Structure 1
Amino acid sequence: METGAPRTVLGVFRETVPGERRVALVPDVVPAVGRLGLTVLIEPGAGAQAWLHDEAYLAAGAELAGHAELLHRADVLLGVHPPALDRLHDLRPGQLLIALLRPTAIPRPVGQWADRGVTAIGLDLADARLPAARPMDATASQARIAGYRAVLLAAERLGRCLPPWGTADTAFEPVRTLVVGAGPEGLQAVDTARRLGSRVQVAELRRQERAQAVALGAELVALPGFDPVAGDPELGEALAHRRSALGAVLAAVVPHYDLVVTALDVPGGEPPMLLRTDEVAAMRPGSVLVDLTAGPAHVPAPADSWAQGNLECARPGATTLVGDGVIVIGAGELAAQVPVTASEAYAHNVLALLTHLTRRDGLRVDPTDPVQDAMVVTHHGAVRHAATRRLLADATTAAGPPPP
């Protein structure tokens, strides 16, 4: 940035979502943000739940600012989650909001950001197919941490040791683990379970992800009718049929496993329900399932059901007993349970985005840039995210015309 140019102010607010322990920026990244020409404001206590105290931010070059002052001074508002709905009136035209926005799950504030002229960028919307977007892909970075934590959480509840165990005259088989879906969180679950000594198998439809799981030491569950040589199933009806077939396969094989992690998600859509409650109940007593797709507890469930993920019986952020003692854990925000590593990873996603946005005259949002195109949800008073725009239009239609 040119010498003498006014410095953009970046404000990092304290998270208020129950159970959230992450912070959007860590002290180690503050100097790098400063070199981009930004002044960093931190709300007092923002990093306390991740053992990152105000003194560490001050030593790194940040300033402390109360919530009201931060919202007033900041050109850029940064959080893990967007500000609470009751603070929307504090946002002003031209401010840039960066967070995990989940616009299709929580569309209501999106229209209000657009009405107030706020530009909103979702770090959960980065298009990982673009190499330049991968460093800012917070979905992947947080998913990997969630996959790691899912296995540890399941191991804590499982009544058996994961690695082979025994005495001088008796040997016990290792725990059998099934991971459904080999995206970032599924692959990390595979790696963690393998390192703990479990025998791991993976059910996955996509060819590249299947290969990555095998490279980590997992075995593949046989999927009748799936030809890996033919490539990935295409989107649409064919893929929906494959998922339905996958559910049938899982129902048949899942009783043979002790630990199951489900992580089969659909980018930009609802995760498919793969196992019904009665199918989960067929597992042995003491088995543990973790549904990483159950969704955060603070995100509203679909109107017709509280079930949101791969398991019909999983409730976000809750543990449920099914049948004769089968333990089902709806994952919620598992990355928030590893706040130090998760905050560090998220802060580097933020730094990558800010670096990409920085020009000689300051930060520049350009929705025509392929990297930004997928991430910019609102800009210049308009909702740009197509799926959210449709949801808002449908909600307006359902509500009917305003009263005279």
Structure 2
Amino acid sequence: MTTTTVGVLRETAPGERRVALVPELAPAAVRLGATVLVEPDAGALAGHHDADYLAAGAAVVGRAELLRRADVLLGIHPPNVDPARDLRPGQVLAALVRPHRIPYLVRQWADRGVTAIGLDLAPDLPAAYPLDAEASQGRAAGYRAVLLAATRLDLCLPPWGTTDGLFEPVRVLVVGAGHAGLQAIDTAHRLGALVRTVEPRHRERAAVAALGAELLDLPGLPPVADDRDPWDTPDRERRPAWVAGLAEAVAHHDVVVTALDLPGRTPPVLLRTAAVARMRPGSVLVDLSAGPEGGTIEGVRPDTATLVGDGVTVIGAGELAAQVPVTASLAYAHNALALLDRLLRGREPAADPVLGPMLVTDRGMVRHEPTRRFLQDATALAGLP
């Protein structure tokens, strides 16, 4: 596939401040052979104005013209457009797709012949790392999660005390040491907290130790190979034991950050309200998995803080990376540029070992297997052919 015209969309989701391509990387896209179109004010909330894009060699055009001319559409979120009217067969759409949240829209893309690529679905391969927006945005979210918890906590994270000595350090528990979790660990550790981490994967455990955090092992959650899913283990008999162990552990911490890396999946509920209510009044939990379908903490809602029990704050993170739009946009733009580099080589995405697993739709088919199965089951349930 040869693509020449790239369209950068303005985000319309409430609270979203990021942009998919920043002006300083637009010349690099041009050097790859792309013509860059940018929707007016696409980068304004990240401090990038239309004049900056024009000076970088991009053209600023209205949405209708951009949708008509672009071979590749770049966005943070899937655009709020009518696939049948605004998209065309063969067009490429790249974003943080999160297909499990929008299965019926995914089917419309497939029916329209759109090739949708999830920058949140990069495979665990060294060659895929430059395209992994789930990783880059996760790091920004992990950093922000700790700062958000600090603003709600009734204690000071940095070492504090009187002439008689220091107070006890704040105790932080991070559940999951993917990219977001590791950044949360590093941020909390740098702020002087005592950090413990629940993480069964071997590679991530080594990274936790390198950051100076303590590994907290739970009964029924033994270390596993890196290619296994530790949070939804097939051995269902062990899960109640480690979930109970996690409930006991959170009661002894002041801050809990749940940071399970679950691209393309609905998060499992790991902490029930009764367990959260056992924490010390004034404690804070931040759920980085919180989305429209729920999160890892019972009852959590995205972009919402609620009180549980005797004054425990539970925060549904939502899109925390959007709160640091300059850093997050630059990181995302590097991911988008790496994607363009692979696309403009002319190889079919399905035959590319990196792009193949990132395909959500292609050639009229839903390629993301969990979404395809969901749609098949929904069709069968409705009695449709």
Q: TM-score range by the shorter chain?
A: over 0.9
SS class of match (1:115):
helix
Q: Which residue is 2:298 aligned to?
A: 312
Distance, in Å, in 2 between the alignment partners of 1:309 and 1:239 is: 22
- The equivalent of 2:158 in structure 1 is 163
CA 244–318 in structure 1, closer or farther in 2 if over 3 Å, else same: same
Instruction: After TM superposition, give the deviation of residue 87 of structure 1 in Å.
Output: 5.8
Using the aligned pairs only, state the percent identity.
Answer: 65
Q: Where do residues 353-392 of structure 1 align in structure 2 (5 Å cutoff)?
A: 353-359=339-345, 363-392=346-375
Q: Which runs of 5+ in 2 are unaligned?
A: none
* Residue in 2 that maps onto 1:80: 76
Structure 1 residue corresponding to 2:325, chosen from 313, 316, 339: 339
| C-alpha distance in 2 between matches for 1:158 and 1:186 | 19
CA apart distance, 1:355: 0.7
The residue type equivalent to 1:216 in the other structure is: L
Which residues of structure 1 form unaligned runs of 5+? 1-5, 302-307
Q: Does the alignment pair 1:11 with 2:24?
A: no
Question: Which letter does structure 2 place at the counterpart of 1:381?
Answer: G
Aligned residues: 382
> How big is the shift at 1:105?
1.9
Deviation per CA, 1:12-35: give whole Å up to 9, x if none.
Answer: 110001111100000011000001
1:328 to 305, 309, 314: 314
Secondary structure in 2 matching 1:328:
strand
Q: 1:233 to 1:381 in 2, by over 3 A?
A: closer
- Name the CA distance, whole Å, in 2 between partners of 1:243 and 1:233: 19
**2:5 partner SS:** strand
Mapped to 2, the partners of 1:110 and 1:254 lie a distance apart of 38
| 163-172 or 219-228, which deviates more | 219-228
Displacement of 1:267 in angstroms is 4.6
Q: Which residue of 1 aligns with 2:205?
A: 210
Superposed counterparts of 1:73-222, under 5 Å: 73-86=69-82, 88-127=84-123, 129-222=124-217
Displacement, 1:397? Answer: 2.1
Residue 155 of structure 1, CA deviation: 0.3
Normalising to structure 2: TM-score of the pair? 0.94
Residues 225, 66 of structure 1: CA spacing in aligned structure 2 closer, same or farther, 3 A cutoff? closer
Cα pair 2:121 2:263 within 8 Å, conserved? no
Q: Does residue 40 in structure 1 map to residue 26 in structure 2? A: no
C-alpha distance after superposition, 1:286-320 (max 9, x if no partner)? 1000001112xxxx42xxxxxx2211132111111
Q: Distance in 2 between matches of 1:219 and 1:237?
A: 23
Instruction: Kindly state the Cα deviation for residue 357 of structure 1 after the two structures are TM-superposed.
Output: 1.8
Change (3 A) 1:242 1:34: farther
Give the 5 Å matches for 1:151-300: 151-224=146-219, 227-228=222-223, 231=225, 234-235=228-229, 237-238=233-234, 240-295=236-291, 300=292
- Does the CA-based 8 Å contact 1:244-1:274 persist in structure 2? no
> Who is 1:64 aligned against?
60
Closer/same/farther in 2, CA of residues 207 and 401 from structure 1, 3 Å limit: closer
Structure 2 counterpart SS, 1:18: coil
1:106: Cα distance to partner? 1.2
Greater mean alpha carbon deviation, residues 129-138 or residues 163-172: 163-172
What is the TM-score with the length of structure 1 in the denominator? Answer: 0.90
